[in-house]
Amino acid sequence: MRLGEHVLRLTGRIAAPDGAGRGEPDDTDGTDGATSAPLARRLFSGMGFSALAQVAPLLTNLALTPYLLGRLGLDRFGVWSLILVFLATLAVLDGGVGASLARFHAYHGARGDRDGTGRLVVGSLTVFVGLGALVTGLGALLAPVVVSALDVPPHLSGEAEQLLLALGPLLTLALAANSAIALLQANARFAGLAAVSGGSCLVYAVGVVTLIGSGPDLPLLALLTAGRYLLTTVGGLWLGARHIRIRRPLMPRSAERREFVGYASRMQLSGFTVFLNGEVDAVVVAALLPVRYVGIFAVGYQAATALRSLPLYAFPPILTRMTHVYARHQLPGAVREFHAMQFRWLPAVLTYGAVTTAAVGLAVEVWVGPELALSGAVAAVLLAGYAVQVACTGMRTCFVRAIGRPGLETRYSWFSTAVNLALTVPLTIAFGVVGVVLATSIGIMAGSLYFVVLCRRLADLREQHLPKRWVPATALAVITAVLGDLLVLQLGWHGALPLLLAGLPAPAGLALAWLFIGRELIHGPRTRAETTPA
């Protein structure tokens, strides 16, 4: 109980934009004289439900991957993985609309502008339908050419062409689902979001286990995926209906369009680098190696991105909170919010990254078996870069998006891409598929450090020192996680359930690290936000 009180007290100090750490009331929730404790509880509750919403598809994919590998075979699973890469790439290349919705929905929500939210919903869905129609037309024209250009086994070419024709509808539904999710996130409807996400994933998982057999079932798998997106869209818009008012004009006004397009164009430039730094790796593998290696890459990539995503579960409520603070208190309030959060964020995420990077290779082998041990190496290399990226850029990304300066994110993303592209060919020649992801990892590390420099120039966003006992605490956590996973690996069990067992040593190591540095993170030295006057 005492630890919970400390955490609530800590979060309350983080959340207060005007009186951080001084017990002054926070009126940013629209009430007069509201204390920080209720706000802290809401923020913590939001993080918890946000985690549930995002962990549902993560656990679904982890549980179903061994099942799909067994039912489809590695070649057919490789084709499905390649189609998902195409879908993820097209979802990123949407003009920056999807990546911008959460920020603008939050801004409208902070001002109680339901009409503006309604125009944004209608406008974004219209764009997504148009993009889906465009991709459908291109798929009809180019599907045979794309399949022949890739190393797809002849007996799978028909299914691959059918999936390419389905990309357009899948894209529209995936983007619409992201739009509904952004609406709920921006209005702090995290409990509803968790219910929608969990329910749609449950229906999808039951459908896959019930209907997918060992034959040519890839089109059916695409249909089940479309159903999951549709359930998320309908459920999200239904729960978010009270934040929307549909009135004429239905589309955003010219001033709103100019502001949104300016923001979204910079987010699109950043999003394009996601393709170059991540999804393009699968395309490179598909172009140079047999299609089964796409499946090997996909397993490692899935494991790395899943572990990377865990700290990011806190982002939606933090971005919503920081945007609300900026809407009411402008740049000084957002700077104070950043400093108070980053002091705790950096050491915690670096420790988490070190532990998961050291253990992920063993965990992947427990998950899918020794024949895919190369996937574990792919995951470890990628996760090392992701750990640095999330630690250094996480709070800074929330900050620049909240204040409407995504151009800085664009600059660092393109810097990462330039380093990645320069290293891809020589490292691939030297190390094969691992060299492809090594170039990506080095690139995002270099870009993350550049982003730190850019944000320091913008608003003097500086780091505090790491806790004094951070190094021994992290070393103990790493040793605990690795030894524990080695013991699990010796059992010879493989699959989703053994993976749960392999996932226990890492939290145990992190708990030991918390014993060393947790108290300092809660009570530690006063942050810049608490010592520097506004």
Predicted confidence at residue 34, as pLDDT, reads 34
Predicted confidence at residue 175, as pLDDT, reads 93
Reported as a single tens digit per residue, the pLDDT across 229-284 is: 999 999 999 999 988 989 888 888 888 888 888 888 877 876 666 666 666 677 77
Q: Find the mean pLDDT for residues 124-148.
A: 89
- Select the more confidently predicted residue: 462 or 60: 60
- Alpha-carbon distance of 421 to 442, in angstroms, equals 11
- Select the more confidently predicted residue: 364 or 66: 364
- Alpha-carbon distance of 285 to 164, in angstroms, equals 19
Give yes or no for a contact between 412 and 393, defined as CB atoms under 8 angstroms apart. yes
When computed from its CA atoms, the radius of gyration of the chain, rounded to whole angstroms, is 23
**Hey, what amino acid is at 445?**
M
At 441, the pLDDT band (50, 70, 90 cuts) reads very high
Predicted confidence at residue 253, as pLDDT, reads 86
Per-residue b or e along 273-285, where b marks 16 or more CB atoms closer than 10 Å to that residue's CB: bbbbbbbbbbbbb
- Select the more confidently predicted residue: 421 or 471: 471
- Alpha-carbon distance of 434 to 316, in angstroms, equals 32
Instruction: Give me the percent of the chain exceeding a pLDDT of 90.
Output: 27
Number of Cβ atoms within 10 Å of the Cβ of 529: 23
Token output for 390: 């999330």
Q: Find the mean pLDDT for residues 144-148.
A: 81
Intra-chain end-to-end CA distance of the chain, in Å: 34
- Select the more confidently predicted residue: 150 or 337: 337
- Alpha-carbon distance of 359 to 373, in angstroms, equals 13
At 357, the pLDDT band (50, 70, 90 cuts) reads very high
Domain range enclosing 390: 2-531
pTM of the model: 0.63
At 388, the pLDDT band (50, 70, 90 cuts) reads very high
Predicted confidence at residue 91, as pLDDT, reads 86
Mean per-residue pLDDT over the chain, rounded: 81
Predicted confidence at residue 236, as pLDDT, reads 92
At 38, the pLDDT band (50, 70, 90 cuts) reads low
Residue 29 has pLDDT above 60, yes or no: no
- Alpha-carbon distance of 82 to 149, in angstroms, equals 13
Residue 373 has pLDDT above 90, yes or no: no
Predicted confidence at residue 195, as pLDDT, reads 92
Reported as a single tens digit per residue, the pLDDT across 474-512 is: 999 999 999 999 999 888 888 778 888 888 999 999 999
Give yes or no for a contact between 271 and 92, defined as CB atoms under 8 angstroms apart. yes
Predicted confidence at residue 15, as pLDDT, reads 33
- Alpha-carbon distance of 319 to 314, in angstroms, equals 9
Predicted confidence at residue 40, as pLDDT, reads 54
DSSP one-letter string for 40-74: HHHHHHHHHHHHHHHHHHHHHHHHHHHHHHHHH-H
| Three-state secondary structure call for residue 93 | coil
Residue 533 has pLDDT above 60, yes or no: no
Instruction: Compute CA 155 distance to the chain's CA centroid, rounded to the nearest angstrom.
Output: 35
Predicted confidence at residue 309, as pLDDT, reads 82
**Counted domains in the chain:** 1
- Alpha-carbon distance of 141 to 163, in angstroms, equals 13
Residue 1 has pLDDT above 60, yes or no: no
Hunting for tokens 């987010």 — which residue is that? 267
Specify the length of the chain in residues.
534
